[in-house]
């Protein structure tokens, strides 16, 4: 995988976590399937990837709204997060993105901007030895609206003290790219890792 950075100078780099820095998406999918099993709800893999970047509680609400399910949001959310926590030791880095983080650490301010829960995101980053590379970590708990709203990226830029137009976003989902565009930020689409 070769990442093409857009032309121009950027004062800060903002990274999504799942599927961008950390190869977590297959593990998240396993956790989702196990979490939804008691409710007899199928979660097709294509739908899982379509909803990538959206916070866990909102995904459950979407499943209820679109498919007429009655999944208890808080209970299913807690179950899914607990199941994923058990899988964190299996998480591997997405090397080309992590190489960029290593190269620019100490040269540019950097943030992680994730729709995940803070505890999960920080555990994932710590497990990869990356947590101390970022000055700011924005998670679902920090925002009223998650991606595709620009709010998470704008909050990260504000906390870093960098104008949105001077930020470069690294994302793997259409939801995340939509949020970056809405925030007025340039972006790099990170392709899925080869399996």
Domains of the chain: 12-24+92-189 (3.40.50.1000), 25-89 (1.10.150)
How many Å apart are CA 5 and CA 178, to the nearest integer? 18
* Per-residue pLDDT tens over the stretch 101-116: 999 999 999 999 999 9
- The stretch 123-152 carries a mean pLDDT of 96
| Distance from the first to the final alpha carbon of the chain | 12
How many Å apart are CA 35 and CA 59, to the nearest integer? 13
**DSSP of the chain, one letter per residue?**
--PPPPSS--SEEEE-SBTTTEE-HHHHHHHHHHHHGGGT----HHHHHHTTTS-HHHHHHHHHHHH-----HHHHHHHHHHHHHHHGGG-EE-HHHHHHHHHHTTTS-EEEE-SS-HHHHHHHHHHTT-GGG-SEEE-GGG-SS-TTSSHHHHHHHHHHT--GGGEEEEESSHHHHHHHHHTT-EEEEPPPPP-
* Per-residue pLDDT tens over the stretch 56-99: 999 999 999 998 999 999 999 999 999 999 999 999 999 999 99
120 — pLDDT class (breaks 50, 70, 90)? very high
* Per-residue pLDDT tens over the stretch 24-63: 999 999 999 999 999 999 899 999 999 988 889 999 999 9
195 — pLDDT class (breaks 50, 70, 90)? low
Q: What is the pTM of this model?
A: 0.90
Pairing type for strands 110-113 and 92-93 reads unpaired
Q: Which residues of 33-60 are buried (b: 16+ CB within 10 A; e: fewer)?
A: bbbbeeeebebeeeebbebbbbbbbbbb
Catalytic option among 16, 18, 23, 172? 16
How many Å apart are CA 67 and CA 96, to the nearest integer? 38
Active site residue 172: no
């Amino acid at each position: 995988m070769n990442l093409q950075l857009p032309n121009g100078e950027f004062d800060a780099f903002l990274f999504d976590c799942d599927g961008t820095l950390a190869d977590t998406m297959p593990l998240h999918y396993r956790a989702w399937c196990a979490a939804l099993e008691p409710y007899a709800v199928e979660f097709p893999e294509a739908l899982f990837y379509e909803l990538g970047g959206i916070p866990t509680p909102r995904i459950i609400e979407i499943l209820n709204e679109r498919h007429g399910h009655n999944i208890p949001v808080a209970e299913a959310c807690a179950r899914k997060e607990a199941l994923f926590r058990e899988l964190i030791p299996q998480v591997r880095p997405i090397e080309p993105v992590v190489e960029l983080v290593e190269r620019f650490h100490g040269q540019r301010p950097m943030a992680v901007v994730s729709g995940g829960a803070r505890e999960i995101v920080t555990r994932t980053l710590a497990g990869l030895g990356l947590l101390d590379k970022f000055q700011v970590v924005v998670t679902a708990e920090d925002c009223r609206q998650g991606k595709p709203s620009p709010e998470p990226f704008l909050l990260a830029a504000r906390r870093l003290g960098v104008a949105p137009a001077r930020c470069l976003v690294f994302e793997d989902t259409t939801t995340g790219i939509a949020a970056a565009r809405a925030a007025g930020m340039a972006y790099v689409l990170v392709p899925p890792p080869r399996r």
